[in-house]
Chains A and B, each alone.
Chain A
Amino acid sequence: MSDLGKLLRKEFRLAATPLTYFFMAGSLFVLIPNYPALVGAFFVCLGVFYSFQTARESNDVLFTALLPVPKRDFVRAKFAFVTVIQLLAFAAFALLSILRTALLSHAEPYASGALMRPNLALLGYVLLVYALFDAVFLLGFFRTAYAIGKPFLLYAILTFVFVAVTEVLHHLPGLGFLNAPGEGLPGRAAVFGVSLLVYLAVLFLTWKKSEERFEKIDL
């Protein structure tokens, strides 16, 4: 097993809290009528935050720093853990979105809801909420490998601003396609594509920057 594999095993078996898995249920928010589904993506990240909190209380950083593995792999394992949780929650969100669109799009109260419907643009937004978590919380955490409150608070504020913006955007002239049932698919596909690219780019850049920061930290 590679060092990264060993560390990932340590993440799931020792550092993670069951709350992380519980909050993955945030993906179910897409089924709640007249509720901003994007908040569910925030809850998924809140669950990840709880694992970081548990890990901090467990002296996880010190335990890992003493293991015979390169220091940079600690950062990689943390990012891998977060990404696995995010992508599993994303897959659940996508499946539930398909389910709602295929079976319940004409049913009330889904049909007359004023908020974002599950579509490709919304899936893109979910990835952007995750990207925000990586860029603000993870990068902030690796500044000290200890402080988690401030980076998470900042992430929470930015996410709620972002959710509000996404719910306003599709009411603006010319942007109705973002939430139009049926028409405007290419536009929504473009939003998803760009969001996916942003998510991947942010993930890569924050991971590299976090590695750099973690190397310099005095534990």
Chain B
Amino acid sequence: MSEREIILEVSGLTKEYPGFLLDGVGFTVARGEIVGFIGRNGAGKSTTLKSILHLVHPASGTIRYFGMDFAENERAVRQRIGFAAGAVDFYKRRRIREIRDVAKIFYDDWEEEAWTRCIREFELDENKRPAELSEGMKVKLNLALALSHRAELLILDEPTSGLDPFSRAELLDLFRELAGRGAAILYSTHVISDLEKCADRILYIRRGRIADEADRETFKEKHRKDENESLEDMMVRMEKEGKERE
């Protein structure tokens, strides 16, 4: 088995809000890998993702992208990563081509060809406005923006939330394709079936702590109670057991 080329390394990440503590979160993401970040609502998924993007200020911890310390190389790192959130649409009253025209001036590696390919593949109409797009198409627009500056790591917060099963399946297929091209994807979800379909590794967070991190099959073997237990049943049981222990 080839060695994983780590492109995101997080350790000891701590962030405190009233009634919530993100407690020493640590994990890694390797090139070409799809990491599914799972946990129930309020477990700390979004806080973790926001912290590793410096959208919130962690109290402690280190974040390294491509071997570089994020705090010291924020500009260089942001050139190489992309972020999309399922529920977020940027400049919903502007035409997509206007958003592209502005976004591209910020990136050294913007590729017009990649943009054209993305909007063709995603069937996006540049004359439309984000407000006119379905939830799935909004995620695709954000992905197109990220992929056009050749993002090597995509960080996606609940990208499949609010999508119908067809759009969800389409998006997960797209993740596979992107990973095949060498991009790494870290996506949070509370839809466990997404992991079954599309995750090389599973990162499981519970009450602000990483409860486990492993490749999908190892994770299943480790936690499965019997042969027939699905990943979904397993996660629900683990959550329940955890709650009972407290």
Contact = CB atoms under 8 A, between A and B. Distances in A.
Q: Which of B54, B89, B101, B102 has the most CB atoms of chain A within a 10 A radius of its CB?
A: B102
What 3 A-B pairs come out closest when comparing CB atoms? A68-B78, A218-B56, A219-B55
Interface in A25-76: 54, 57-60, 62-63, 65-70
A10 B55 CA distance: 20
Given A6-B105, A15-B91, A62-B90, 8 more contacts: A13-B98, A14-B102, A54-B93, A60-B90, A68-B106, A70-B74, A218-B55, A219-B56
7 contacts: A14-B91, A59-B91, A60-B90, A63-B90, A68-B74, A68-B106, A70-B74
A69 B90 CA distance: 18
Interface in B53-108: 53-57, 74-76, 78-79, 83, 88-94, 98-99, 101-102, 105-107
B50 A219 contact: yes
A196 to B, nearest CB: 34
Given A67-B78, A68-B107, A62 B55 contact: yes
A1 interface: yes
Of B90, B93, B107, most buried by chain A (CB within 10 Å of CB) is B90
Interface residues of A, number: 23
A59 B98 contact: no
A68 B105 CA distance: 11
A26 B78 CA distance: 41
Contacts of A10: 102
Contacts of A208: none
Contacts of A216: 57
Nearest to B51: A218
A13 B75 contact: no
Contacts of B88: 59, 62
Contacts of B91: 14-15, 58-60, 63
Contacts of B99: 14
B75 A68 contact: yes
A70 B54 CA distance: 12
Nearest to B15: A218
Contact of A66 (B53, B56, B98): B53
Interface in A178-219: 216, 218-219
A9 B88 CA distance: 22
A6 B107 CA distance: 11
Given A1-B105, A10-B102, A13-B101, A66 B57 contact: no
Given A6-B106, A9-B105, A59 B89 contact: yes
Interface in B199-235: none
A59 B75 contact: no
B78 A58 contact: no
Contacts of A68: 74-76, 78-79, 106-107
B102 A65 contact: no
Contact of A59 (B56, B57, B79, B90): B90
Nearest to A66: B83
A155 B92 CA distance: 28
Contacts of A218: 50, 55-57
Contacts of A65: 53-55
Interface string A146-171: 00000000000000000000000000
A69 B106 contact: yes
Which of A65, A66, A70, A219 has most B Cβ within 10 Å? A66
B138 to A, nearest CB: 11
Interface string B14-51: 00000000000000000000000000000000000010
B49 to A, nearest CB: 12
B210 to A, nearest CB: 21
Residue in A15, A216, A218 with the greatest tally of chain B CB atoms within 10 Å = A218
A65 B137 CA distance: 22
A59 B101 CA distance: 17
Contacts of B75: 68-70
Contacts of B74: 68, 70
A79 to B, nearest CB: 19
A101 B76 CA distance: 55
Contacts of A62: 55, 88, 90
A54 B91 CA distance: 9
Contacts of B53: 65-66
A60 B54 CA distance: 16
